[in-house]
Amino acid sequence: MKILSAPMAGFSNYAYRELIRTLGGADIIETEMVSARSFVELELRSNEYPSRLWGVQDEPNVVVQIWDNSPDTLEEFTKRLVNDFHVGGIDLNFGCPARQIADKSESGSYLLKFPNRIGDIVSRVVAAAEGKIPVTAKIRLGCTIDSINAIDVAQAIESAGANGVIVHGRTASEMYRGNANWEAIASIKPKLRRIKLYGNGDIKTVKDALEKIRNYPVDGIMIGRGALSKPWIFSQISAVLDNREIPPEPTDSELNHIIKLHYELLRKQLLPQSAILQLRKHVCYYVAGKTESRQFRNAISQTNNPIDFFNLINNFLNSELL
Ligand SMILES: Cc1cc2nc3c(=O)[nH]c(=O)nc-3n(C[C@H](O)[C@H](O)[C@H](O)COP(=O)(O)O)c2cc1C
């Protein structure tokens, strides 16, 4: 059973991935989705890389999620990621419902309408990877509730030679509403012959993870938002799966250490004020549910000065680290 950390635009950057790696338990860690076109164009124009690739070159085994609708562009990007960035895997995005990606760029979940096009893209990317790294595709159940076609799409992905398919159990038009439909995810399993099926959607706690693992025939689970609040959730789940004692929730003082580490990791890429802006988003998730967290979130959202920021954190978490 594999545990995957989900691609999340605006969140799963270098620092977040390294934090997850340090806390342990995730078998596969994905980047934010990276535009293949922006890579190719930026490099042509100015010999630069999209900032979302920051850190990837030095990271062990990281899976880069890529998006576009042009097989040529995706093929070119894949070759570079495999041969120059030495990535651990490639995941193709066929699930993003955001207007900018799906409507304007006819990519992401837009392509779910065309299983054949998805098959063409996957086979070109698989060929470009030359068997050196695994290729997966991440999909939703379909575009709308009336056009659920995840089985067709998953079969096209399998026939095209991918190693696995990750399924978020909602349609694109549902965005994040309602509950992920794990029965629909499970119905894909008997229709696959060779590739792995990873289920995704609404795993917020260790209990949720075990419920999905025990009740649905998946080869792995992917966790997104649940790990924004609890990046240590992977270590807890993997402990249960290995029959080890579950590491407890961090104390306030341990959480303070985690936040400090997160800041240091962000600082490798960003200047102090930008690092604080990014960290702020994560800290809001970390403290959600704690007493008086609303006032605290208001207070930290008004500063991007590291000293003030950490004073507020020390105060709230009742521990001195700076
Ligand atoms: C802020 C945010 C950004 C996301 N960005 C991506 C992305 O870049 N690529 C992708 O395939 N899915 C993206 N997703 C979807 C997640 O990977 C995941 O499929 C979804 O959140 C459901 O899983 P969860 O309930 O565990 O969060 C994003 C989700 C969120 C909340």
Per-residue pLDDT of the chain (322 residues; tens, 9 = 90+): 999 999 999 999 999 999 999 999 999 999 999 999 999 999 888 988 999 999 999 999 999 999 999 999 999 999 999 999 999 999 999 999 999 999 999 999 999 999 999 999 999 999 999 999 999 999 999 999 999 999 999 999 999 999 999 999 999 999 999 999 999 999 999 999 999 999 999 999 999 999 999 999 999 999 999 999 999 999 999 999 999 999 999 999 999 999 999 999 999 999 999 999 999 999 999 999 898 899 999 999 999 999 999 999 999 998 655 4
- Domain 2-241 = CATH 3.20.20.70: yes
Q: How far apart are CA 285 and CA 22, in angstroms?
A: 19
| DSSP letter, residue 242 | T
Q: Please indicate whether residue 97, judged by its CB atom, sits closer than 6 Å to ligand 1.
A: no
Give residue 63 CA to ligand 1 midpoint distance, Å: 15
Is 96 among the catalytic positions? yes
- What's the CA angle centered on 75, arms 73 and 76, to 5 degrees? 65
Q: Please indicate whether residue 33, judged by its CB atom, sits closer than 6 Å to ligand 1.
A: yes
Tell me the two tokens of residue 311. 């004073």
To test the pocket of ligand 1, the residue of 222, 225, 284 to mutate (highest count of ligand atoms within 8 Å of its CB) is 225
What pLDDT sits at residue 319?
A: 65
Q: How far apart are CA 226 and CA 87, in angstroms?
A: 25
Name the burial class of residue 261, with classes exposed (0-12), middle (13-18) and buried (19+) by CB atoms within 10 angstroms of its CB: middle
Of all atoms in ligand 1, which is nearest to the CA of residue 32? Answer: 8
What pLDDT sits at residue 318?
A: 83
- 8 Å CB contact between 321 and 306: no
The domain limits of the chain are: 2-241, 252-316
